[in-house]
């Protein structure tokens, strides 16, 4: 089985070489590597073109965000299996091998992810108990926090045909939005071996550069509530989480002295939650 590996990147030449090398060092050799350059202005292109490996394809697009870059990669991918790697993360050598073996044994499965090793500010940290990744039907758990990492997943192309691509209108939490659409209908299997090194804390990390991330998680929940895919039980869970997140976000607006926005979120009648989109 061949795998299409997609690395979206934007002005991260200082991380990108390690990411590329971690893909080329995989024990499973049957892959293509699509590097989607989201309008970088550094030496990203020169770095990529310095590699002679014919499995590498370089795609340059005007800067439009990580969702667009991932979607371009998916549309250009030639393989049945698709894996993502964020340009600031790394894979351990057996990552592709372990996941391909899983899919060969489980033809019914559409998506799986591995465990991760977390590095923050250059030091290894242990995830808290509430970050523990569940396995199977995880929609309820996924509402509270994003429990699926793009760098850790592998999925069949068929999954995108069922749930759609990443929302290009969301500058952040686009993965949270995608995983809600996935987990509402499909199990996400966890392979317990940590095969991804997830690095955080650096200045250009997306989650650090975009304020008020909960605002975009709220939008994702409103979307899933409005798209008609939820069972009655799932709808109740989603509405409860929406109320919780709007209250948290409203309190944050108060602290930032955004009083009009705080008033909107903190006094929003429950019957009107589904009538607006941010």
Report CA-CA distances (Å) from 107 to 81, 110, 183, 262, 264. Answer: 12, 8, 18, 48, 47
Q: What percent of the chain stands above pLDDT 70? A: 92
Instruction: Tell me the two tokens of residue 75.
Output: 């549309």
Range of the domain at 236: 213-275
Q: Does residue 239 share a domain with residue 125?
A: no
177 confidence band (pLDDT: 50, 70, 90): very high
pLDDT at 147: 94
Contact 41, 71 (CB under 8 A): no
Distance CA 181, CA 83 (A): 18
- Of the candidates 156, 175, 208, which is a domain's last residue? 208
Q: Does residue 155 share a domain with residue 64?
A: yes
What CATH number does residue 23 fall under? 3.90.550.10
Average pLDDT over residues 73-101: 98
Q: Over the stretch 106-153, which tens digit does the pLDDT of each residue have?
A: 999 999 999 999 998 888 888 777 778 999 999 999 999 999 999 999
For strands 81-84 and 56-61, give the pairing.
unpaired
Instruction: Give the residues across from 197 on adjacent strands.
Output: 90, 117
Return the closest-CA partner of residue 191 out of 268, 260, 119, 112: 112
Would residue 257 be called left, alpha or beta, if left means φ above 0 and alpha means ψ between -120 and 50 degrees? Answer: left
* Residue 202 reports pLDDT greater than 60: no
For strands 81-84 and 111-120, give the pairing.
unpaired
Q: Does residue 172 share a domain with residue 261?
A: no
For strands 111-120 and 189-200, give the pairing.
parallel
277 confidence band (pLDDT: 50, 70, 90): very low
pLDDT at 259: 76
Q: Considering the entire predicted model, what is its pTM?
A: 0.91
Q: Does residue 68 share a domain with residue 25?
A: yes
Distance CA 137, CA 169 (A): 27
Q: Over the stretch 14-69, which tens digit does the pLDDT of each residue have?
A: 999 999 999 999 999 999 999 999 999 999 999 999 999 999 999 999 999 999 99
Q: Over the stretch 225-272, which tens digit does the pLDDT of each residue have?
A: 998 899 999 999 999 999 899 888 888 888 888 878 887 888 765 545
How many separate domains does the chain show?
A: 2
Contact 101, 21 (CB under 8 A): no
Q: Does residue 262 share a domain with residue 164?
A: no
């Amino acid at each position: 089985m061949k795998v299409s590996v997609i690395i979206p990147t934007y002005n991260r030449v200082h991380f990108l070489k390690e990411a590329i090398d971690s893909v080329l060092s995989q024990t499973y050799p049957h892959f293509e590597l699509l590097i989607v350059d989201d309008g970088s202005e550094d030496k990203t292109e020169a770095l990529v073109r310095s590699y002679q490996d014919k499995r590498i394809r370089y795609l340059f697009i005007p800067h439009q965000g990580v969702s667009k870059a991932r979607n371009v990669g998916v549309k250009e991918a030639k393989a049945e299996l698709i894996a993502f790697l964020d340009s600031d993360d790394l894979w351990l050598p057996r990552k592709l091998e372990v996941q391909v073996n899983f899919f060969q044994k489980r033809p019914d499965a559409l998506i799986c992810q591995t465990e991760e090793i977390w590095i923050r500010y250059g030091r290894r940290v242990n995830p808290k108990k509430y970050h523990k990744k569940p396995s199977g039907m995880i929609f309820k758990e996924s509402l509270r926090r994003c429990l699926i990492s793009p760098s850790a997943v592998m999925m069949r192309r068929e999954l995108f045909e069922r749930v759609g691509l990443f929302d290009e209108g969301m500058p952040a939490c686009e993965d949270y939005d995608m995983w809600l659409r996935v987990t509402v209908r499909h199990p996400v299997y966890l392979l317990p071996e940590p095969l991804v090194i997830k690095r955080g804390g650096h200045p250009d990390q997306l989650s650090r550069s975009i304020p008020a991330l909960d605002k975009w998680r709220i939008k994702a929940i409103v979307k899933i509530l409005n798209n008609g895919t939820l069972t009655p039980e799932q709808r109740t869970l989603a509405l409860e989480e929406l109320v919780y997140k709007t209250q948290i976000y409203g309190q944050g607006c108060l602290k930032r002295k955004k009083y009009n926005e705080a008033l909107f979120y903190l006094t929003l009648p429950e019957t009107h939650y589904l009538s607006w989109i941010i």
